[in-house]
Amino acid sequence: MIRTVIRGTGRHLPPRLVTNQDLAQWMDTSDEWIQQRTGIQQRYWIDPDHPEGASDLGVKAARIALERAGWQATDIDLIIFATLSPDVFFPGSGCLLQHKLGLETTPALDIRQQCTGFLYGMATADAFIRSGMYRRILFVGAEVHSTGLDISTEGRDVTVIFGDGAAAVCFEALETDEPVGVLGQRLHAQGEFAESLMTEAPASRLWPRLTPEMLDQRRHYPRMDGKLIFKLALKRLPETAMAVLKETGIDKHDIDLYIPHQANMRINQFFEKQMELAEGKVYHNIQTYGNTTAATIPLAIDEALEKGIIGPGSTICCFGLGAGVTWGVSIYRFVK
């Protein structure tokens, strides 16, 4: 049977460390508010003197993942790039990354699933691999939020949560009868709530797509109904995790590490409590990086592997909910 396994991971953070105290100089907020409401202490943003796009951060993470997998770039059959902050409106950042890797005609696919970019990306990679169409797929999740945030009191609810960053995963086909690799997953979307978290402009549905008035109205900045998204996450994540555990026949206590999307530490603490998990079973790194959206889950996997919290034979459960709204859960077991 063909299984989808991880061969290598990598991450890259831009150089500019932005603390909560830094943000408090630019808007009416405080370290105490941000830590209490979100758990975030700091995040990394790109250096405005040396601007970089999502594919620039992504290619650095990709090179690390490729080296750890023992792959050359030319070994890649397909690139899947997840981002809500593409380098340009079009074409997709996957094409830009493909060229930066020195590739000529390797296919590249962008997905726009925001915080669940990794979960949708892993499911897509798994489907391509199990169908036999591709054997080696590079997933990259990368975001440059900082160039599109409202750095004023008006935008403070959204601006304080986002960080820039990238992470990459090399997925490969493995012929085996062992229960390893992607064991189960569920993906969901509920477009009913699409406008609860969005950046509205520029947009094809607007005529023209962007005007000075729209800029004055701050319609090019992300806006969010944080309370609604928060409540949806509290309901959907435990409910979907229980469903995937049931489908795979895995006991919730046999998961070595739960790796959530890092949107708000309180959401993930609620999940831990709701699922009645032992302390330390849910991974948090939002303190250090903030919400790097499509990069959070692969970044956390990479970090947990590096710290030795997980390794050969470990079973992880990844989950997240974000703009769309979209959400998903995936259970993965590393090869021994």
Residue 164 or 172 with smaller CB distance to ligand ACO: 164
Report the nearest approach of ligand ACO to the CB of residue 110 (Å).
16
Report the nearest approach of ligand ACO to the CB of residue 188 (Å).
14
Residue 11 or 156 with smaller CB distance to ligand ACO: 156
Instruction: Please tell me whether the peptide bond between 91 and the residue prior to it is cis, using omega within 30 degrees of 0.
Output: yes
Say how far apart CA 31 and CA 287 lie, in whole Å.
Answer: 12
Q: Which 12-41 residues touch ligand ACO, going by CB under 6 A?
A: 29, 33-34, 37-38
Say how far apart CA 100 and CA 115 lie, in whole Å.
Answer: 25
CA angle 318, 75, 59 (to 5 degrees): 60
- Contact region with ligand ACO (CB under 6 A), list: 91-99, 170-178, 201-209, 222-230: 222-230
Say how far apart CA 211 and CA 207 lie, in whole Å.
Answer: 9
| Residue 114 lies near ligand ACO (rule: CB under 6 A) | yes
| Residue 87 lies near ligand ACO (rule: CB under 6 A) | no
115 noted as active-site residue? yes
Residue whose pair of structure tokens reads 């997998």 in the numeric block: 69
- Judge residue 190's burial from the number of C-beta atoms within 10 Å of its C-beta, 0-12 exposed, 13-18 middle, 19 or more buried: middle
Q: Please select the residue that binds ligand ACO; options are 226, 269, 285, 335, rule is CB under 6 A.
A: 226
Element (H, E) at 286: helix 286-289
Q: Please select the residue that binds ligand ACO; options are 322, 330, 331, 334, rule is CB under 6 A.
A: 322
291 noted as active-site residue? yes
| Residue 227 lies near ligand ACO (rule: CB under 6 A) | yes
Of 44, 52, 172, 119, nearest in space to 324 by CA: 119
Contact 54, 114 (CB under 8 A): no
User: Which entry of 12, 261, 264, 317 is annotated as an active-site residue?
Assistant: 261
Residue 291 or 315 with smaller CB distance to ligand ACO: 291
- Contact region with ligand ACO (CB under 6 A), list: 64-72, 127-135, 153-161, 209-217: 153-161
- Contact region with ligand ACO (CB under 6 A), list: 102-110, 174-182, 221-229, 235-243: 221-229
| Residue 253 lies near ligand ACO (rule: CB under 6 A) | no
DSSP 145-204: -GGG---SGGGHHHHTTB--EEEEEEEEEEE-SSS-EEEEEEEEE-GGGGGGEE---S-T
SS3 content of the chain, % helix, strand, coil (to 5): 40, 25, 35
| Residue 157 lies near ligand ACO (rule: CB under 6 A) | yes
CA 43, 48, 54, 59 torsion-angle sign: negative
Element (H, E) at 110: strand 108-111
Q: Please select the residue that binds ligand ACO; options are 156, 219, 223, 236, rule is CB under 6 A.
A: 156
Q: Two tokens at 252? A: 């919730």
- Contact region with ligand ACO (CB under 6 A), list: 47-55, 204-212, 225-233, 234-242: 225-233
| Residue 163 lies near ligand ACO (rule: CB under 6 A) | no
* Number of shown-chain residues binding ligand ACO (CB under 6 A): 24
Say how far apart CA 133 and CA 115 lie, in whole Å.
Answer: 27
User: Which entry of 115, 170, 317, 318 is annotated as an active-site residue?
Assistant: 115
95 noted as active-site residue? no
Q: Residues 52-81: x/- map of binding to ligand ACO (CB under 6 A)? A: ------------------------------
| Residue 246 lies near ligand ACO (rule: CB under 6 A) | no
CA angle 228, 150, 168 (to 5 degrees): 75
| Residue 262 lies near ligand ACO (rule: CB under 6 A) | no
Q: Which residues are designated catalytic?
A: 115, 261, 291
For ligand ACO, the binding residues (CB under 6 A) are 29, 33-34, 37-38, 84, 114-115, 156-157, 160, 197, 226-227, 229-230, 233, 263-264, 267, 291, 293, 322-323
